[in-house]
């Protein structure tokens, strides 16, 4: 899948205090995303009476405090609670071109979505729908192809080397060990 034009890094939850700070629900694991001096773009979460949902406002982060998963952020030129309140619900994004290159064997979720799922030997058995985070490890949501009269089914595959020994994003596929695609045994 192509690199998206915009990447969501957080959502503004609500104003915090009287000096224009806001609470942000972070959706990035990049610790450099919310630091003083960083630039983000804010857009309304949905179309409203005053404008389209794709209009973005450039914001510079003045300061950050609190927890990384829910930082309290101050933006330059947002000086009071009313201005901060006007940002409630806005999505914070960065251009997709600003995403850092990942190390060998690391992938962005959008790179995996839509990849053909093959078993060793090369037979196609489905498509990756999405990557879901879980406490132990990420999970691939695979839409398995229907066989015979069977309905297509959704399978969760752990995104670990034992289950997924090969990923070739440029060729558009990944390989999953067949045993991870089998339905669980009845108990």
DSSP track, 137-164: S-EEEEEEPP-TTPPPEEEEEE-STTT-
Same fold, 6-98 and 109-181: no
Q: What is the pTM of this model?
A: 0.70
Q: What percent of the chain has pLDDT over 70?
A: 90
pLDDT tens per residue, range 58-68: 999 999 999 98
Under CATH, what is the fold of the domain 6-98?
Answer: Elongation Factor Tu (Ef-tu); domain 3 (2.40.30)
| Residue 70 pLDDT class (50, 70, 90 cuts) | very high
pLDDT tens per residue, range 133-176: 888 899 999 998 877 666 778 999 999 999 999 999 989 999 99
Q: Which CATH superfamily is domain 109-181 in?
A: PRC-barrel domain (2.30.30.240)
Domain boundary assignment for the chain: 6-98, 109-181
């Amino acid at each position: 899948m192509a690199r998206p034009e915009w990447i969501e890094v957080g959502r503004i939850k609500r104003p915090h205090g009287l000096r224009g700070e806001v609470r942000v629900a972070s959706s990035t694991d990049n610790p450099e995303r919310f630091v003083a001096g960083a630039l983000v773009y804010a857009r309304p979460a949905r179309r409203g009476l005053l404008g389209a949902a794709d209009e973005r406002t450039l914001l510079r982060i003045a300061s950050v405090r609190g927890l990384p998963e829910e930082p309290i952020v101050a933006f330059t030129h947002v000086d009071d609670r009313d201005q901060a309140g006007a940002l409630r619900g806005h999505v914070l994004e960065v251009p997709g071109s600003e995403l850092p290159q990942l190390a060998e064997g690391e992938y962005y979720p959008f790179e995996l979505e839509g990849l053909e799922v093959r078993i060793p030997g090369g037979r196609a058995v489905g498509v990756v729908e999405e990557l879901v985070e879980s406490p132990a490890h990420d999970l691939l949501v695979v839409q398995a192809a229907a066989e015979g009269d069977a309905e297509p089914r959704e399978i969760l595959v752990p995104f670990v080397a034992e289950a997924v020994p090969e990923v070739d994003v440029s060729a558009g596929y990944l390989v999953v060990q067949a045993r991870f695609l089998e339905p669980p045994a009845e108990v």
